[in-house]
Amino acid sequence: MEKKVIGTCQLCLEEKQLQKSHIIPEYIYKRLQEDFHIEPLKVVHMDLDYFQRDRKGDWDNTILCPTCDNKIGKYDEAFKLFIETQPEWKYQPPTETQPFGAYSVGTIENFDKIKLFFISLLWRAHLSIKPTWKAVDMGPLASRARDLILANNPGTDHDFSVMLNILRPPKNEPLTKNHMLIISPSKEKSYFDGITTYVFYLTEFTAYIKCSNRPWPNRLHLSMLHENKNSYIIETPYEGSLSNRRFAGFALQKKEFFSKKLGMDFKFTVQKTAW
């Protein structure tokens, strides 16, 4: 029987019994098992040089009380329903002037909850004591994120702007377990003109969440998720994706470790990302 944890809920700030809560929703891990038949799950902790076997993913029981966990769970569910509409997205192939493909998703239903999913994902990772999330440090913007979550307010376009990419398999091959990774998030600046952005790897989706008071450069505005107008999800070739670029050097250095312990055979081609 698990020991009850009593502490201060980081959302309502009341002293209560705290809930065992996922940072990345459990259904993301279930997709790896049910859709891609990866069992048991292997969550790669790159900065810590080990992997974790887990059937249900990483969780933390120091952040939320059951009431607040249920509140945030509604945002998690909204994102789940959103990615399930993928068959309805309209694909726009690359052109001479637009070198990457994109999916037009139209006006996003329940945009408020979906944007708050990303804000709460970043905020939960910031607060977690688990080593998986140690790269995430929101600084004073954590307070702003909490205020938005409490108010069910997604903020403006420039509050925690979100860009969502989807991986394209190499050479139009099917996505396999070699591509479907859940790895610890990273902090990126170079692609965003020095603006702090956190990158979360959610199976075939990569989420870029701005954590700065400065707006992203204009060249990225079309790729952001928007309220009340058409949004685009950019298609990224796996070979040029940040997840591949970030993972490549680490895995190649430890090729024997990954081939024997994870049953993976990685072949990396590092290219510049499309955007």
The 10s digit of each residue's pLDDT in 128-157 is 998 888 899 999 999 999 999 999 999 998
pTM: 0.82
pLDDT at 59: 81
Under 8 Å CB-to-CB from 193, ≥6 apart: which residues? 216, 217
- Does 270 map to a domain? no
Q: Which residues of 112-149 are buried (b: 16+ CB within 10 A; e: fewer)?
A: ebbbbbbbbbbbbbbbbeeebbebbebeebbebbbebb
Tell which wins on pLDDT, 207 or 22: 207
Task: Indicate if the pLDDT at residue 274 is higher than 50.
Answer: no
Q: What does the alpha-carbon distance between residue 61 and residue 23 come to, in Å, rounded to a whole number? A: 10
Q: What does the alpha-carbon distance between residue 43 and residue 57 come to, in Å, rounded to a whole number? A: 8
Q: Are strands 162-168 and 231-237 parallel, antiparallel or unpaired?
A: parallel
Q: What does the alpha-carbon distance between residue 10 and residue 18 come to, in Å, rounded to a whole number? A: 10
pLDDT at 197: 96
- Does 272 map to a domain? no
pLDDT at 185: 87
- Look up the domain containing 66 and give its range: 6-262
Q: Which residues of 187-220 are buried (b: 16+ CB within 10 A; e: fewer)?
A: eeeebbeebbbbbbbbbbbbbbbbbbeebbeeeb
Q: Are the C-beta atoms of 34 and 28 separated by less than 8 Å?
A: no
Average pLDDT over residues 56-74: 90
Among 131, 121, 128, CA closest to 28: 121
DSSP helix/strand/coil, 12: coil
Domain count along the chain: 1
- Does 269 map to a domain? no
The whole-chain average pLDDT of the chain stands at: 79
- Does 62 map to a domain? yes
- Does 271 map to a domain? no
Average pLDDT over residues 163-182: 65
Confidence category of residue 269, pLDDT binned at 50, 70, 90: very low
- Does 34 map to a domain? yes
Q: Which amino acid makes up residue 32?
A: L
